[in-house]
Structure 1
Amino acid sequence: MASRLGTQLGEWQATGGVAQALADRIRMLLLDGRITVGERLPSERALAAELGRSRATVARAYELLEAAGYAERVHGSGTRAALPAQRLPRAAAVDGDVIDLTIASVGSAPGMHAATVRALDRLAPLLGTPGYSLQGLPELRERIAARYRERGLPTDPEQIIVTSGAMHALAIVLAALGERGRPAVVEQPTFAHAMEALRRTGHRLLPTPVTPEGWDSAHLVDTIRQQRPALAYLVADFHNPTGATMPELERARVAAVARSVGTVLVVDETCAELDIDRGWTPRPFAAHGPAVLIGSMSKIAWGGLRIGWIRASREHVDRMLSVRPSLDLGTAVLEQCIAIELHDDMEGLLSHARRRLRIGRAAVADGLATHLPEVAMPAVPGGLAAWVDLGGPWSTSLSLAARDRGLLLPPGPRFSASGVLDRYARIPMTWEPELTAAAMARLGAAWRALRAGERSRHERLHDAAVV
């Protein structure tokens, strides 16, 4: 059985000294969060057998990690991942603050302040109540349900649960419908925090590939049919991070197969209405068969407004409401009142978000053409980010080089369930053009240094520690 480390190593291959290359790869997995500090690594014998290498090679790799402070070896308890005593250095700021491209979220909509002021009048009559509701304010649930009806999916307010953001919604879904020890299908790549939530609740991840061109629908359907997973987590509209949209016929096929084997489809719709120029609008996934839908205001209005929701069958809603008190007792009432006000101008919100994304997409494309001319800008009809093919397995190394220049860029494998995709990088399209231009200039400097063979500061620190 493959170990977690063996899986995360993915397509690792030695290009020089095998032990040094293996140590470097494990260290990079630790630095970008795919291996956690304190995590127990496989035994030398087990990892050697898994990788098809000699035990001496693995032992030497572990020795190199220990010498540099990236591993602790205790007799009788194995080898555990660690950080050196000085800990991971912060990203070096260049001409000011660090630019954080790990976040892909738009700034607040123009009407946010006014909606907050108006919401105070809605809040006043509620001050004499307990102040929370497991399911959410009826007015907000009706507005969310109405939006689904406008998109072609008949929905009753009783099918809606208001949550404190999309991740909170996923936590409720997993608490009610997840099955510890059972497999769960995830796209590869996908939203990293969703994978973490599935792992934390005891699910074994089964990846299915997605590219900017779309899904391998045969692979997805066969995986569901043969593995009979408890859940399948999908992002069918403006997929995060590739930007792809699943056609309606594929949705219908996936929904039919999932229903036949009892798999619960959990469809993340947080990007569903972030259309720039797709040219067509599919109905929500649940229009084709049973599916639990997750939505959020954060990508439309503001990341700081922690309002999300779940749309599901009444049976599933009842199950989720029964477990929710073990997580929380309801979503903040003031934020719900603000969301009600914002829903009354949903078209205005969407129009603003689309303009921002169109400008952001152009800024990323200009930055690539100027600073990384060897890297092509993919077609991105909507969504939050560009999923860029670097042309080789350089994403992790580029991420480390970018950190030296005050730029935080998550490597491609961060969005993978199996440690692969090191030839890709996710570049958000959500920042202001001036900030994106500065970020792309720093990324270009990191790219040129990487291509010239320069080693990152983390690599130099590692080398110095070994010596």
Structure 2
Amino acid sequence: MKSGLMLGEVDRYLSGPQLARLTAVDPGARPYYRALARSVRSLILDGRLPVRVRVPAERHLADALGVSRTTVTAAYDRLREQGYLESRQGAGSWTALPDAGSLGTANPWIAAADDGLLPLHTAAPSAISTLPAAIAFAGEHYPRYALGMGYDPVGIAPLREAIAARYTERGLATRPEQILVTTGAQQAIHLVTTLLLSRGDPVLLESPTYPHAIDLARMRGARIVPVGIPDGGWHLDLLTCAIRQSAARLAYVIPDFHNPTGHLMDEATRAGLTEAARRYGTTLVADESWAELALDGDDGRSRVAPLAAFDTDGRVITIGSASKLWWGGLRIGWIRTTAATVRRLAVLRAAVDIASPLFEQLVTVRLFEDIEESRAERARTLGASREVLTTALAGHMPDWDFTVPSGGGSLWVRLSSPEATALVDAAACHGVRLAPGRWFGVDGTLESRLRLPFTQPPQVLTEAVRRIAEARVEGASGNRPPESLTPTL
């Protein structure tokens, strides 16, 4: 969180020798500036170096450490980029805690496609095998839409019909006029929060949760009310009490293979949650982006009714996405709500993009025709990758703890110590990009957690775990990564 300090508000400070003693960086660490920045960041995260403490000038710390001023400058620059230092001309620099969603860049999810790091920071899957046929279908049918104006603010009729039919198959009777097609689930969340939230409104968010939902709540100036999710899943009494005590106007939940924990909300909790929302006047936004990704067969757990099936007065708004089942690059999402709310959302989205791309909508229409085959394919491929990942972790990091989810795309791993941020940096030096737990936390916590996706092929996961294990050893010993571990793909 940005401190917004004014001159004179920072009255605590450290001298060069004091910070040098605290960091205790191995003189042989390479590159030294990264090791120094990592050490300072760890001090801040575990509370040994408080926030809003002025750090010594670069030349003073360089003298105390016996290194060049350029080295300390590079370390300070890195800490500023990551949000752990704030500076003002003439006022010096002081320690800070970054926004929960930031890590070195304004958006931690954006990384260069050719940076050479194995992308375990994202759970986006590769394309389903039926995508080429769907693209061919879209190309064949695209010309006939050229006779009209070329866009529909609520989405083309065939796609809305397909989405509505799928909800009906899942036990939630739905008409096409209840569907608004969006340009991905992210736009869907943005539209709903823009429509329903005003500055200062209380909004309930699970912790952990989808990071972009946190970003949107902050953008709207909402008052975030976090509710923790225990290891065993949701506690209905905690959800109900939070809704009642905060008078939350909106609650954003991920009931189906929760991102990042993988939990699946049972029907009793769904019924109790919708009843609480009705009693206290809260709108529930259910993100079902992972709902079709059950991996353990038709054992009952994969057939929980949608949250909106327990709704009696139209206060559950459901969000879906094509990106998790079919392909991360297919930026098509949708909103299921009342027909009246669909019309209001369509007017609102006119200021954004008017309508979603026609070609991608046609591709999605074709993919819905073979949705059961797609689900079966994902169950096979993700199930195999999940098995490889859990086996590799058990072999290399037996002290890490996790529950194997029955669906979704990732493991929510508890580390043996609060070392996630330091491990992320060390793993990057070994060619693996990771997602630390604090990305998913409302207040920058969850430093003992990592989200590890199993959406990559088995061979990638095996190599990634090997590199993470060696990065962990390096982090513990302070040794330089061997040359053989430089990123290769």
Percentage identity across aligned positions? 35
Q: Paired residues, what number?
A: 418
Distance 1:73 1:80 in 2: 12
**Match of 1:371?**
396
Note the 1:113-128 alignment, pairs <5 A.
113-128=132-147
**Match of 2:267?**
248
Distance 1:61 1:256 in 2: 55
Specify which of 46, 64, 72 is matched with residue 87 of structure 2.
Answer: 72
1:82 CA drift (Å) = 12
Change in Cα spacing, 1:417 to 1:197, as seen in structure 2 (3 Å) is: same
> 8 Å contact 2:318–2:337 — kept in the other structure?
yes
Deviations 1:21-51 (A, max 9, x none): 7xx9x9679989x99xxxxxxxxxxxxxxx9
The range that moved more, 256-265 or 387-396, is 256-265
Distance 1:29 1:264 in 2: 44
Deviations 1:171-194 (A, max 9, x none): 111221222221211111111122
> 8 Å contact 1:73–1:80 — kept in the other structure?
no
Distance 1:30 1:156 in 2: 56
Where 2:209 maps in the other structure, the secondary structure is coil
Distance 1:62 1:217 in 2: 51
> 8 Å contact 2:331–2:360 — kept in the other structure?
yes
Note the 1:58-457 alignment, pairs <5 A.
58-60=53-55, 68-69=76-77, 70=80, 71-75=86-90, 97-277=116-296, 279-280=299-300, 281-289=303-311, 290-452=315-477
Distance 1:257 1:169 in 2: 24
Distance 2:422 2:92 in 1: 31
The range that moved more, 209-218 or 228-237, is 209-218
Distance 1:142 1:339 in 2: 12
Change in Cα spacing, 1:354 to 1:254, as seen in structure 2 (3 Å) is: same
Tell me which amino acid in the other structure corresponds to 1:337.
Answer: L
1:344 CA drift (Å) = 0.6
Deviations 1:356-388 (A, max 9, x none): 110110111122022212224422111010001
With structure 2 as the length reference, what TM-score do the two structures score? Answer: 0.78
RMSD value, Cα: 3.5
| Structure 1 portions without partners, runs of 5+ | 7-16, 36-50, 458-467
> 8 Å contact 1:236–1:268 — kept in the other structure?
yes
With structure 1 as the length reference, what TM-score do the two structures score? Answer: 0.81
Structure 1: 4+ residue segments shifted above 3 A: 3-6, 17-21, 26-32, 51-55, 60-67, 75-83, 451-457
Where 1:276 maps in the other structure, the secondary structure is coil
Change in Cα spacing, 1:261 to 1:4, as seen in structure 2 (3 Å) is: farther
**Match of 2:485?**
none
The range that moved more, 428-437 or 362-371, is 362-371
Distance 1:434 1:422 in 2: 28
| Structure 2 portions without partners, runs of 5+ | 5-17, 24-33, 62-71, 81-85, 99-103, 483-489
Tell me which amino acid in the other structure corresponds to 2:309.
Answer: A
> 8 Å contact 1:148–1:154 — kept in the other structure?
yes
Deviations 1:276-329 (A, max 9, x none): 127322110011123111101111111111111000112321221221111111
Change in Cα spacing, 1:405 to 1:125, as seen in structure 2 (3 Å) is: same
> 8 Å contact 1:211–1:242 — kept in the other structure?
no
The range that moved more, 448-457 or 432-441, is 448-457
> 8 Å contact 1:368–1:376 — kept in the other structure?
no
Change in Cα spacing, 1:53 to 1:98, as seen in structure 2 (3 Å) is: closer
Distance 2:283 2:161 in 1: 25
